[in-house]
Amino acid sequence: GDENRRFDIAQLRHPNIALKCFRSPSGMDAYLAYMGERLQRREMTDTYVHRDSNVARNRTGECLWRQDYNYNLRLVEYLRQNTVYMTQYFKFCSKCLKSDDNLLQRGKIIVKE
């Protein structure tokens, strides 16, 4: 089905694209600091208008958040082993995070926590 096309390792191979990675969400602040040194700041010329795109969440009512940590580990392991796109995704992430393509490796940037 379409769910197996959500991540396709074959689509990541392109001569003009060099993919990088970082561990998220714990690395989000470090990633923003890293990119802040590289991206050009641009002025917003229009007024921002917030548009809700999703129904507001109630995490206490979501069954996944009520489970213990071991359940979450078993769920991730199941997804890694039993779904085609998740298997490819986790293999890519694991390989990338251990490589020089990991943006937030120690020595590349200072991670402020």
Burial label for 93, CB within 10 Å (0-12, 13-18, 19+), is middle
Would the pTM count as exceeding 0.75?
no
Is the pLDDT at 48 greater than 50? The verdict is: yes
Band of residue 112 on the pLDDT scale cut at 50, 70, 90: very low
Residue 61 pLDDT: 80
Q: Identify the residue with better confidence: 8 or 108.
A: 8
